[in-house]
């Protein structure tokens, strides 16, 4: 084991990644030391590094969608061993409260923060992660595919199965459909039996959404998405509207095209101030909601079980992980810039030798 490693660290709120040579971290009694093989890069960390209050101290190594090999474990660790290939649950939770015990750990009242924000993550050659956050990668799943399962695939698993509860025959609008998480929702919604209408503002992204089976794609910069959806559903509206963008405009469009018994699932919401200071607060007509029996769901990440099931879907080939660009560790900042400029379809990832 070398004594130092390369790490891409941010040194201030919203700051760029800098290549630093730092000591290889030592695992505590409940931790595992992991040698990284792949770390996903998506819009979530891009937004989070600019959001005050999430990173607790600097410098910080971000990166939560990790896949790597366990090199060493602490004295109390029983669930993983050196040589295991693992990925990681994003949320640091208490593991014992009623929410944690009932598979709703993302609602844990003792939430400690996020991997890669309150402790160092995967944009480095090695990282140390609490072992209870780790999940073994099944045989036959590559590290690159596995790292995507840790957010880009398990998040839509939760959105589609636990929140929307999509059933065969239902229609699902997916907003921001060509993004890293939503592109897997396009697949997941169909796996649940739904028919997908994909909404995005990039022609290139919409082409991939159509290739993945969406029956229709809409560019809201070119056509009115609500009119288009009402026409596609012969006036009934959609059964589910899963919003990976969640601005005031996209959310109000969702309420306008939601059908009877329809569910609006909010996934991509960001704190006011995090994104150009624009508030995502939106208007809801409670009488219409009541009359139409509609539901609004806030959907946070996923459970450990849902992460494991996501890996299993990848292993069986039922979900295809979409990585369109990979970068060496030193080019992490380039990946983030391209994500921020909306230039990447699906996911980007940093890959290691």
Compute the least distance from the CB of residue 304 to Zn ion, in Å. 12
Question: 94 or 201: whose CB is closer to Zn ion?
Answer: 94
92 binds Zn ion (CB under 5 A): no
Cβ atoms of 174 and 183 closer than 8 Å:
no
Tell me the per-residue interface mask from 239 to 268 with Zn ion, x by CB under 5 A, - otherwise. Answer: ------------------------------
132 binds Zn ion (CB under 5 A): no
Compute the least distance from the CB of residue 171 to Zn ion, in Å. 36
Compute the least distance from the CB of residue 112 to Zn ion, in Å. 9
108 binds Zn ion (CB under 5 A): yes
Compute the least distance from the CB of residue 103 to Zn ion, in Å. 11
Question: Across the strands, what pairs with 40?
Answer: 65, 349
97 binds Zn ion (CB under 5 A): yes
119 binds Zn ion (CB under 5 A): no
Cβ atoms of 14 and 53 closer than 8 Å:
no
By rule CB under 5 A, what count of residues binds Zn ion? 5
Stretch of 52-60, 90-98, 191-199, 226-234 lying at the interface with Zn ion (CB under 5 A) = 90-98
94 binds Zn ion (CB under 5 A): yes
Spatial separation of the C-alpha atoms in residues 135 and 197, rounded to whole Å: 33
Compute the least distance from the CB of residue 100 to Zn ion, in Å. 3
In the block, tokens 């409670």 appear at: 286
Please name which of 246, 301, 272 lies closest in space to residue 50, comparing C-alpha atoms. Answer: 272
Compute the least distance from the CB of residue 312 to Zn ion, in Å. 25
Q: How far apart are the first and last CA of the chain?
A: 16
100 binds Zn ion (CB under 5 A): yes
Spatial separation of the C-alpha atoms in residues 44 and 63, rounded to whole Å: 10
Question: 90 or 352: whose CB is closer to Zn ion?
Answer: 90
* Cα 205 from chain centroid (whole Å): 17
Question: Across the strands, what pairs with 173?
Answer: 197, 241
Structure tokens at 273: 């101030």
Number of helices (H), then strands (E), in the chain: 11, 17
Compute the least distance from the CB of residue 119 to Zn ion, in Å. 17
Helix or strand holding residue 325 (H, E):
strand 323-327
- Cis peptide bond prior to 59, omega within 30° of 0: yes
Sole binder of Zn ion in the list 93, 119, 137, 192 (CB under 5 A)? 93
Please report, as ranges, the residues that interact with Zn ion according to CB under 5 A: 93-94, 97, 100, 108
């Amino acid at each position: 084991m070398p004594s130092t490693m390369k790490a891409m660290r941010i040194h201030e709120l919203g700051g760029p990644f800098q290549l630093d040579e730092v000591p290889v971290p030592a695992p505590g009694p409940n931790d595992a030391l992991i040698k990284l093989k792949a770390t996903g890069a998506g819009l979530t960390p891009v937004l989070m590094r600019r959001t005050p209050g999430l990173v607790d101290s600097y410098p910080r190594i971000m990166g939560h969608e990790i896949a790597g090999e366990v090199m060493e474990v602490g004295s109390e660790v029983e669930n993983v061993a050196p040589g295991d290939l693992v990925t990681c649950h994003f949320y640091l939770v208490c593991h014992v409260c009623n929410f944690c015990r009932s598979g709703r750990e993302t609602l844990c009242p003792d939430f400690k923060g996020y991997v890669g924000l309150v402790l160092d993550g995967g944009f480095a050659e090695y990282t140390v992660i609490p072992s209870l956050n780790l999940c073994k990668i099944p045989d036959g799943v590559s590290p690159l595919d596995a790292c995507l399962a840790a957010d880009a695939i398990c998040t839509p698993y939760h959105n589609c199965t636990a929140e929307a509860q999509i059933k065969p025959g239902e229609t699902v609008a997916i907003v921001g459909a060509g993004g890293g998480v939503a592109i897997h929702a396009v697949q997941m919604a169909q796996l649940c039996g739904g028919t997908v209408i994909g909404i995005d503002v990039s022609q290139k992204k919409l082409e991939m959404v159509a290739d993945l089976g969406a029956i229709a794609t809409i560019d809201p910069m070119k056509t009115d998405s609500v009119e288009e959806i009402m026409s596609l559903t012969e006036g009934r509206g959609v059964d589910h509207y899963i919003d990976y963008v969640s601005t005031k405009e996209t959310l109000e469009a969702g309420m306008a095209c939601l059908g009877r018994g329809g569910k609006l699932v909010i996934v991509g919401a960001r704190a006011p101030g995090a994104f150009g200071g624009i508030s995502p607060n939106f208007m809801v007509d409670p009488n219409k909601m009541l009359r139409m029996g509609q539901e609004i769901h806030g959907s946070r990440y996923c459970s450990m079980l849902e992460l494991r099931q996501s890996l299993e879907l990848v292993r069986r080939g039922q979900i295809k992980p979409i990585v369109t660009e990979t970068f060496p560790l030193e080019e992490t900042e380039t990946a983030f810039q391209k994500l921020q400029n909306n230039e990447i379809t699906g996911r980007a990832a940093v890959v290691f030798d």
